[in-house]
């Protein structure tokens, strides 16, 4: 997979985690595809309208182990680990990005709460040679 695409999508994913972006409906509107949907770590489902109207959770987070896997020419799965400093919990994340109207847009997102800790995830990740 193209390393430039990986870095571009990682930057897009990190912008989605940025506190200023998460507070801005206009910035979220630019990132989220019109038919975006999410399964939150609570198990609750959200769509784009709800995210823009109600906002998304505001938390300080650190991303680890970002990887991508192509699903189709214009569709990519990204996976990563989040250490949520605000909520004091960690999640495994997956997103599906689609290339729509000349830019990569977030189509689907899911977060799953995990007991894994960042140091263990980073260590096992390096051990696998990634």
Specify burial of residue 111 (Cβ count, 10 A radius: 0-12, 13-18, 19+): buried
pLDDT at 74: 96
Neighbours of 72 (CB within 10 A): 8
Give which of 2, 6, 1, 17 is closest to 97, Cα–Cα.
6
pLDDT at 96: 98
pLDDT at 124: 57
> How high is the mean pLDDT in each 10-residue block of the chain (130 residues)?
88 85 85 94 88 77 93 96 90 96 96 84 55
Return the structure tokens found at 74: 């214009």
pLDDT at 50: 87
Backbone φ, ψ for residue 7 (5° rounding): -65, -40
Domain ranges of the chain: 3-127
Specify the CATH architecture of the domain 3-127. Roll (3.10)
Tell me, what DSSP letter sits at residue 1?
A: -
């Amino acid at each position: 997979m193209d390393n430039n695409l990986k870095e571009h999508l990682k930057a897009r994913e990190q912008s989605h985690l940025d506190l200023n972006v998460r507070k801005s409906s206009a910035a979220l509107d630019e990132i989220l595809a019109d038919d975006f949907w999410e399964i939150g770590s609570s198990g609750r489902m959200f769509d784009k309208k709800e995210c823009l109207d109600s906002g998304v959770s505001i938390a300080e987070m650190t991303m680890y182990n970002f990887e991508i896997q192509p699903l189709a020419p214009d569709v990519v799965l990204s996976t990563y680990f989040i250490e949520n400093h605000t909520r004091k919990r960690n999640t495994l994340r997956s997103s599906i990005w689609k290339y729509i109207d000349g830019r990569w847009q977030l189509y689907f997102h899911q977060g799953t709460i995990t007991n894994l800790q960042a140091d263990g995830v980073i260590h096992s990740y390096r051990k696998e040679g990634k």
